[in-house]
Amino acid sequence: MRAARYTGEGRIEVGEAEPRTPAADEVTIRVAYNGICGTDLHIVQGHMDARVAMPAVIGHEMSGVVEQVGAEVTGLATGAPVTVMPLRWCGECASCLAGHQHICQRLDFVGIDSPGALQELWTVPASLVVPLPAGLSLQHAALVEPLAVAVHDVRRSRLREGETAVVIGGGPIGQLIAVVARATGAAVILAEPDAERRAFAAAQGATVVDPIAEDLAGIVEAQTAGAGADVVFEVAGTRGTALDATRHARTRGRVVFVAIHPEPVPVDLHRIFWRELEVLGARVYEREDFERAVALLAEDAVPADALITRVVQLDETQTAFDALLSAAAMKILVDVQGADEQGAER
């Protein structure tokens, strides 16, 4: 089979690899599509070289069909469409024992800490496999993992119908948070300097703001009768947006930090004190978030086709990373099997 491997210094190389026969409790999946996410970009930029063992097969936003099942696996059959929730936890640490297995203190994030989905045949524990409804497109199903991130972020925020949410950052996760928030019944204000990303959010019903040219704080106040937003999601991941996030929250509002900040950044502690704000971290997802994401995609509640900028072949994986690093696309899928001959813009 073929696999795409990160080999350091920004390079992705595609070559031959040996498939691994599934153990008794494992499943081998013929990977159809793999999406490239922000964490993958961090890896290729070298930010996670201390964590990733090179050459590394990365990738965790995927869809595919079951190729082979281990002798002890039940409930999964060859040919079934599936995705993978790529978290392996120890079950023994304090986080696991408290019921927070998704943030296990010894978490194996599959596709980062162990081999991922940018290979034609991927063998994983059966416990990680999430079945998909038969009618769901495998291209759309490659969005389940990032959508589950957004579902978890919104659930963690306790956002309710009738509330107002501010989303700072209109990349793929910010857009999906806005979609999930709208599906919850909230009003959404999305701040994003890129005009195309603002247009995308506006088409999904969000109020959009250019935070460089417009007064985001003034617009939030105007739309909330001076109160501020019930929830603010910081998804941009910059020092400025982290500092600014608390400014837009109402008294006893919630500020959710979604973006990965590799270095400590300033936060307005006086604002947190003065308005009795809650500051929440939101990391990855739980099984119920994955299942909710599958349901939202199956219900056509997510503009999947609009989110997918284009599909490329496995041999073009390096090109896809380069395009995303230059912010020239929203979401690019890698057609791992080479079934999509068009490589078409979407």
Q: Which residues are catalytic?
A: 39, 42
d(CA 168, CA 209): 10
Q: Whats the size of the chain, residue-wise?
A: 346
CA neighbours within 13 Å on the CB side: how many for 139? Answer: 20
| Region of residue 227 (phi > 0: left; psi between -120 and 50: alpha; otherwise: beta) | alpha
- Which residues, at least 6 apart from 144, have a Cβ–Cβ distance to it below 8 Å? 61, 63, 83, 130, 132, 290, 293, 294, 297
Q: Which two tokens stand for residue 280?
A: 């929440």
d(CA 336, CA 341): 11
CA angle 309, 311, 316 (to 5 degrees): 120
- Continuous segment of H or E residues that includes residue 33: strand 26-35
